[in-house]
């Protein structure tokens, strides 16, 4: 997702931590949206979305990461998210554990220096290999040494159990509606997150009802590649309401 330069990645997640849970209840904890570049209409929709009894995580991405200087628009946006009881997350890509970890840690530092109101970190392009676990364990330790920040991982596919143990949530499905039939959810409902794009207005409720029992954190949109997250779906308000009710 690091190539989508649009304000669109908004993650709605409920706070969780510790070891993964084999929770079987279908009670949703939240939903996911994404945010990358300035879009006043989208930002206003995000800010005004009701939080209710869920927690809304918003992934913020000024410049494929924090950039080199504070952008007042993003700084104000992050502050507004906090005021409206949303949880802003800082976008950082890892290139499937191939990016030099000192560069990733430098991004963590830059985020905290430029945007101190950030509440957590969204690591993108996460490897799904057990061999790369030490890379992400080091990042977890590095972040937690800075404070009690949220950690969300995005491999976009299933990962070993150990990845759930070092994060607050893991996106195990990020794909189009056409491929949902191939998805097998992991046994860690309480930390499992799914993002489904390309869902038409007349099918979103059906997809929602199917995935609410598989993913505690869920976002469905009608957007399509190359950037499914440039706008919120027409059914966004109804989707948020449904999440609140489930």
**What was the pLDDT predicted at 160?**
96
What is the per-residue pLDDT across 28-78, written as a single tens digit (0 to 9) for each? Answer: 999 878 887 788 899 999 999 887 788 788 999 999 999 999 999 999 999
DSSP code per residue over 123-167: EES----GGGHHHHHHHHHHHHHH-S-EEEEE-SS---HHHHHT-
pTM: 0.90
> What's residue 36's pLDDT?
77
Phi-psi domain of 194 (left: phi exceeds 0; alpha: psi -120 through 50; beta: other): beta
Confidence check: pLDDT of 125 > 50 = yes
In the chain, domain spans: 10-245
Q: What local confidence, expressed as pLDDT, does residue 206 receive?
A: 96
Phi/psi region, residue 9 (left: phi>0; alpha: psi -120 to 50; beta: rest), is beta
Give the DSSP H or E segment for 71.
Answer: none
Helix (H, G, I), strand (E, B) or coil at 139: helix
| CATH number given to 10-245 | 3.20.20.80
Q: Mean pLDDT of all residues in the chain?
A: 89
pLDDT at 107: 98
Question: Using 50, 70 and 90 to split pLDDT, how confident is the model at 25?
Answer: low
> Are residues 173 and 156 in contact, defined by beta-carbon separation less than 8 angstroms?
yes
Give the pair of three-digit tokens for residue 15: 């706070």
Residue 16 predicted with pLDDT over 50:
no
Rounded to an integer, the average pLDDT of 155-169 is 97
Kindly tell me if the per-residue pLDDT of 231 is higher than 50. Answer: yes
Does 222 score more than 80 pLDDT?
Answer: yes
The Cα 228–Cα 226 span in angstroms is 6
């Amino acid at each position: 997702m690091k190539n989508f330069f649009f304000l669109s990645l908004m993650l709605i997640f409920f706070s969780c931590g510790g070891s993964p849970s084999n929770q079987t209840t279908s009670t949703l904890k939240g939903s996911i949206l994404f945010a990358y570049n300035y879009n006043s209409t989208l930002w206003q929709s995000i800010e005004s979305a009701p939080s209710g009894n869920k927690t809304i995580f918003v992934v913020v991405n000024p410049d494929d990461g924090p950039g080199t200087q504070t952008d007042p628009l993003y700084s104000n946006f992050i502050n507004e998210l906090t005021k409206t009881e949303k949880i802003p997350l800082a976008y950082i890509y890892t290139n499937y554990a191939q990016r030099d970890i000192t560069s990733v840690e430098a991004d963590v530092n830059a985020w905290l220096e430029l945007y101190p109101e950030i509440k957590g970190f969204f690591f993108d392009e996460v490897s799904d290999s057990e061999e790369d676990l030490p890379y992400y364990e080091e990042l977890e330790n590095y972040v937690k040494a800075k404070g009690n920040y949220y950690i969300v991982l995005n491999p976009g596919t299933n990962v070993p159990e150990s990845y759930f143990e070092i994060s607050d949530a893991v996106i195990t499905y990020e794909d189009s509606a056409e491929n949902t039939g191939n998805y097998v959810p992991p046994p860690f409902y309480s930390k499992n997150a799914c993002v489904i794009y390309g869902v038409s207005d007349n099918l979103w409720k059906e997809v929602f009802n199917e995935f609410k029992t598989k993913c505690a954190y869920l976002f469905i949109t009608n957007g399509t590649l190359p950037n499914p997250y440039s706008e919120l779906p027409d059914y966004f308000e109804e989707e948020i309401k449904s999440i609140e009710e489930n």
